[in-house]
Amino acid sequence: MIRKMAEMTWYELDELARDETLIFLPISPLEQHGPHLPVGLDLYGTEYLARRTAELFVFENPEWTVLLPPPMPLGSNAFDFPGGMFTRQRVLRDLLVDYCGALARHGFKNIVFMSVHGGTGHIVAMEEASEMINKKYDARTVSPTGALAMKFFSGAYEADLDRMLSKPLTQEEKDLLRNDWHAGRWETSLMLVIAADMVRSNYRELEPVVESDFRKVNDDLIRNIGGGAGYLGDPARATKEFGEAMVKLLVRDAVTIIEKIVVQGHAVGAQERSPLYDIPFMRTDFVRNSVAVGAGVLLTLLGGIPLVDAVMKGSLQIPGLDIAEKPKKDDE
């Protein structure tokens, strides 16, 4: 059974069996998607994929209840264009921990973060929040977005697409799909599935804009490549058929991940998240932790505990750095 969470009373929610209730949280920011797609694409797409994933999950696990809250217009690492609404990575992570904490305190500990926004910090923030919630509340929370995105960009879906589409992909199409970073063939096709009337007809006239090195994808690049139109990929090749095929593949793999973590009770591992999670400088607390470690090393080199004692007493004197409190003037 699938229910819209916002329409339920707290009495009805409290009657649900916690061990067989799964909550999907659709999370994506508003962000520009070229001259042909609405800024709400990620939010529309996330809500749609959450519902489709919930439908397949319940079909395979009919004893479960899935709750769908309203989509949350939240996200980080979006392109900074007019109409964009996004947060810092830390804010997103901490908001998700707080939101899910409110659910977990009342026994709702099976939670899935759904998103079609591919910002690297956004993906890592969701994965970090999932890990923190699982540890703090003994929950079963998972964010499959990163793992699915990596499969897409690695070409892992090409064989499936060849089988599902009326015409197999050419090698040129496969090469372009591996660089379909933003508002290209995939996202345009997704919007043709969800609401074709929101796709501006000029998408058929857009030339491919290609950047093969993902490390170069940033605000400066997207403002200067392809005339600064705001897309990276090949939107002109978008079709509803392609969108429907990709949705089926993503939903299939999302349900596999969810069942492994939530139903079977496995811990979230490398196969269920993005490799970005394991890159130290991608983590939310990287700078803060680096500063703390650096300060600790400095304290050790300069004398350790006696130095700390001097700092606490306000008696430390270092040329150019006066830590001792100065007397205040009368007018201060």
Q: Looking at residue 331, what is its pLDDT?
A: 47
Q: Looking at residue 285, what is its pLDDT?
A: 86
Q: What is the CATH number of the domain that holds 190?
A: 3.40.50.10310
Q: Looking at residue 292, what is its pLDDT?
A: 52
Q: Which is more confidently placed, 286 or 127? A: 127
Does residue 290 lie in a domain region?
Answer: no
Q: Looking at residue 37, what is its pLDDT?
A: 99
- pTM for the whole structure: 0.85
Tens digit of each residue's pLDDT (9 = 90 or more) over 205-263: 999 999 988 889 999 999 999 999 999 999 999 999 999 999 999 999 999 999 999 99
The answer to whether 315 and 322 have CB atoms below 8 angstroms apart is no
Does residue 296 lie in a domain region?
Answer: no
Does residue 328 lie in a domain region?
Answer: no
Tens digit of each residue's pLDDT (9 = 90 or more) over 151-184: 999 999 999 999 999 999 999 999 999 999 999 9
Q: Looking at residue 281, what is its pLDDT?
A: 83
Number of compact structural domains in the chain: 1
Does residue 289 lie in a domain region?
Answer: no
State percent of the chain over pLDDT 90. 82
Q: How far apart are CA 214 and CA 251, in angstroms?
A: 25
Does residue 246 lie in a domain region?
Answer: yes
Q: Looking at residue 214, what is its pLDDT?
A: 83
Tens digit of each residue's pLDDT (9 = 90 or more) over 300-326: 555 555 544 543 444 333 334 333 334
Tens digit of each residue's pLDDT (9 = 90 or more) over 7-27: 999 999 999 999 999 999 999
Question: Domain range for residue 219?
Answer: 2-282
The answer to whether 208 and 234 have CB atoms below 8 angstroms apart is yes
Please name the amino acid found at residue 125.
A
Q: Looking at residue 299, what is its pLDDT?
A: 46
Tens digit of each residue's pLDDT (9 = 90 or more) over 72-113: 999 999 999 999 999 999 999 999 999 999 999 999 999 999
Does residue 314 lie in a domain region?
Answer: no
Does residue 208 lie in a domain region?
Answer: yes
Does residue 318 lie in a domain region?
Answer: no
Q: Looking at residue 313, what is its pLDDT?
A: 45
